[in-house]
Each structure stands twice: as structure tokens, then as C-alpha cells.
Amino acid sequence: MEPILKVEELKVWYGEKCKGDIIKGVSFDLNLGETLGIRGRSGSGKSTIAWAVMGMMSHLKGGMEGSILLDGKNIGNLTEKEYKKVRWKEIAIVPQAAMNSFHPMMKIKDSIGEILKIHCKITDKKQMQDKCEELMEIAHLDKKVLSYYPHKMSGGMKQRAAIAMALACEPKLLILDEATTGLDVLTEAEVLRVVKNLQRRNNMSILLISHDPRLVEVLCDKTIYIEEGVIVDHSTYHEADLLEAKAV
């Protein structure tokens, strides 16, 4: 089977290239409808990989090398303009800093509506409202949250709203960067269950970044473990986890 995402010899850096790479030649692939877990300690470069796949390195004042094939097409060397068409329709992300990712003066329904309008060409009011409500259900949020401004929402609510937003255009590839970290266990389980259902329905592929080995074990078909920008392990449980367990 042709993988939906195939990353080869990915090198990523911030600032000048000569200062050294943060990601030092990483390769992995992800099949259609499957989930790949990315694990690693804080600062190992997980989020960096996510942003490189989103084509955001130039906005982070960095750069990348290597190839990123989405559906067989190399998106690693697209121009900013071309990448705009890939983002959110093909790949969407729930960022680690989901809390701060909303326009502070826009209601949630307007933030989601904006995306529906730009990427899905939905302009009909009724259709938009229906879609927004459906997304709220997926994210396990009350409908009335749609008319909230971000400052009135708790951290967990914002995180779930960010998940709703990422699913708005039914992307082929969904990147979840610690998307449920900080939610209580029940809500986390519920949100992930719905995402999982959606994955099955749409045949969506997921890149799941998490520090939680149990989550990765349950949800992922494959795992990579990153250490200082290189893949050091492909098993769900890494030796660090065993050390950690001992320490506890």
C-alpha cells in the first residue's frame, strides 16, 4: 500500500543552517487510515517535525531539507502560496499551544466559520451552523460554546475547540500535538474515541504526538521514539519509560 505520508531524510533547523540541525535526518511513513505515534522527551524535536510537515519552517525563521511526500506528491519544496492550498484541507493540526491559537476577538463560531468559508467554500448560513454544531458534538462541547469568545473558555474547552477546528475540513492527515494533554481522563477518552470513529469513517490518517506511552499504545499502529532529533526506537515502550517507571 502506498503510504499517505512518507518522510525521508528530514533535516530541520532554526535560524541559520550552519548552527546545526534540530531534526537530523528522520524518515518514517504513515499509511492511509493508520495512526503513527511520535514520542520522545521534552525538547527532542517532536513539535518541530509537525511544523515541518505543515510547511511552517519559514514562518519559524528556520528551514528544512529532505522530502515530505503527501499522497506521493512532494510537498517539502512547495512555495508558500502552493502550501496554502495543502494546509487545513489536506493536513490540519491541533497545536501544542492550542490555548493561544484563537483570534481573541472572534467568537468560536466565527473562527470555525472562517475556515469553512475559505477552505470548504461553505457560505450558506444554515449549512455553516449545522456544520459548526456537528463539530461541537465531535469535540464533546456544548453548542452554546459556539458563541463564546476564547477568553471565556477554560483551557480544556479551548483544546477541544481546536480539535473541532482541525476537523472542520475533514483533512486527510490530522496532526495531534499533545492535543488532549491536560484534559481529565474521561473527557480525553471520549474525545479520542470520537476522533477514532471519525478516522474510521473518513479513512483519515493521524500523526499523534504524545508523551503518554499508554495512549500511544492504545491508539497507534506504529511508533517512533525521537531523541535529540533522531529516531532511536520503533517500539511503543522505550527504555526511558522503564527507567521512569522505576523512578516512580
Partner 1 sequence: MRKLFNRNRKLYHYIILIFLVISFNFFLPRLLPGNPLVNIMGEDISLLTMEEREAVIERYNLNDSIFKQYTTYLRNLVTLNWGTSYSKKQPISSVLWAAAPWTLLLAFSNLVISTLIGIYLGTKAGLKRRKKEDVYLLSGISFISSMPSFWLGMIFISVFSVNLGWFPIYGGYSMWQNYTGISKVIDVLRHLFLPLSTLVILSISNIFLPMRYALIEVMGEDFVFMAKAKGIPQSIIRYKYIVRNALLPVFTVFMLRVGYIFSGSVVIETVFAYPGLGRIMYDAISTRDYPLIQYSFLLISLMVILSNYITDLLYPLIDPRVVNQHENT
Ligand X SMILES: Nc1ncnc2c1ncn2[C@@H]1O[C@H](COP(=O)(O)OP(=O)(O)OP(=O)(O)O)[C@@H](O)[C@H]1O
| Other residues' Cβ atoms within 10 Å of the Cβ of residue 69 | 17
Q: Among residues 40 and 95, whose Cβ is nearest to partner 1?
A: 95
Partner that binds at residue 87, options ligand X, Mg ion, partner 1, none, CB closer than 5 to 8 Å by kind: partner 1
Segment 147 to 166, residues that bind partner 1, using CB under 8 A: 149, 151-152, 165
DSSP string, 170-235: --SEEEEESTTTTS-HHHHHHHHHHHHHHHHHHT-EEEEE-S-HHHHHHH-SEEEEEETTEEEE-S
Give dist(CA 156, CA 149) in Å, integer: 14
Question: Closest distance between partner 1 and the C-beta of residue 185, in Å?
Answer: 27
Scanning 41-152, the segments in alpha helix (DSSP H) are 46-53, 80-86, 108-120, 125-138
Question: Closest distance between ligand X and the C-beta of residue 103, in Å?
Answer: 21
Q: Decide: is 167 part of the binding site for partner 1 (CB under 8 A).
A: no
**Which residue is it, cell 491541533?**
94
Q: Which grid cell is 171?
A: 483533512
Partner that binds at residue 48, options partner 1, ligand X, Mg ion, none, CB closer than 5 to 8 Å by kind: ligand X
Q: Among residues 96 and 199, whose Cβ is nearest to Mg ion?
A: 96
**Size of site (CB under 8 A) for partner 1:** 29
Binding site for ligand X (CB under 6 A): 14, 22, 40, 42-48, 60, 96
Binding site for partner 1 (CB under 8 A): 51, 54, 56, 59-60, 83-89, 93, 95, 97, 100-105, 114-115, 118-119, 149, 151-152, 165
